[in-house]
Amino acid sequence: MSISCTRIRHQVRVLACAGLGVLSVVWTANCFAQEPAASLTAEQVVSEMAKRNQQRAEALRGYTSLRTYHCEYQGLGDRRADLIVKMSYVSPDKKEFTIVSESGSELLRKHVLRKLIEAEQEAASEENRRSTAMKPENYDFRLVEIDQDVTGTYYVLDVSPKKSNKFLFRGRIWVDAKDFAVTRMEGEPAKNPSWWVKKVSIDVQYRKIGDFWLLARNQTLTQVRIRGHALMTIDYGDYHVGETHSPPAALLAPLSGASRQCATEAAPASCANQSN
């Protein structure tokens, strides 16, 4: 085998180790409910988000979706590959994948796209979900600003992991001020998967399907240290949400009077924990 072919195969394996798109699965919030916007502290936003995430996870029994995986590698020989996959989720951690069609580089399909699916199944385990949940146990949060556009109002927070884990994330999240749902994430993996990987940039977006916020698009750019880069995109569509548990009344009600008071005053530390 030529040196160039050896390097190409090594870089493809590096891309697979980089976990292109895997983090998006770990961070799925499955968020819903409506809340009026308020000026909250970072602690209050995170506390409310964590509480709602748990309630939403318990309410969602399952769904199916159709995904389009696309990977383009440019470097020591250009390659591209595509998979169309049907995914079925059953609460709390069962995910089944059926490949509908595939095309392009067999090397990328085997060592990147299929490995990505395997990693998503690994990330769905109870232990991984607990150790990577968007909670103070796993992350430090800092409120940066309150952002507004035509789509709504968002709390923007910087997120820093408290430990080294291939599924954790470092960067910035946008939390919907009404739903307390993560609607966008930008950043990089908390742990560099390999010396050969120079940088991994991740942009994840969500959209509301019925009562739930689910993944819409994941774009990951991986730069290889020696030469080349790979662009990985996953588009999520054709959602069908199955029967759901009735959402808790607290999820549908506006913030309590105590919560509003905490949002408008120099709240004591106890306010940040009142929703637990």
Specify the pTM: 0.75
Instruction: Give the tens place of pLDDT for each residue, 135-189.
Output: 999 999 999 999 999 989 999 999 999 988 888 999 999 999 999 999 999 999 8
Helix ranges (DSSP H) in the chain: 3-17, 22-26, 42-59, 106-108, 114-123, 126-132, 249-252, 257-264
Q: What is the model's pLDDT at position 97?
A: 97
Question: How far is residue 176 from each of residues 7, 97, 182, measured CA to CA in Å?
Answer: 44, 30, 6
* Amino acid, res. 116: L
Instruction: Give the tens place of pLDDT for each residue, 252-267.
Output: 444 544 344 333 333 3
Give the residue-averaged pLDDT of 8-18: 50
- Residue 63 pLDDT class (50, 70, 90 cuts): very high
CATH number at residue 207: 2.50.20
Q: How distant is the alpha carbon of residue 264 from its chain centre?
A: 31
- Residue 9 pLDDT class (50, 70, 90 cuts): low
How many domains, in total, are found in the chain? 1
Give the residue-averaged pLDDT of 115-134: 89
Give the residue-averaged pLDDT of 210-222: 92
Please determine, for residue 69, whether its predicted confidence score (pLDDT) is greater than 80.
Answer: yes
Q: What is the model's pLDDT at position 1?
A: 47
Do 78 and 71 touch, CB atoms closer than 8 A? no
Q: Which domain holds residue 71?
A: 3-273
What average pLDDT is seen over the chain? 79
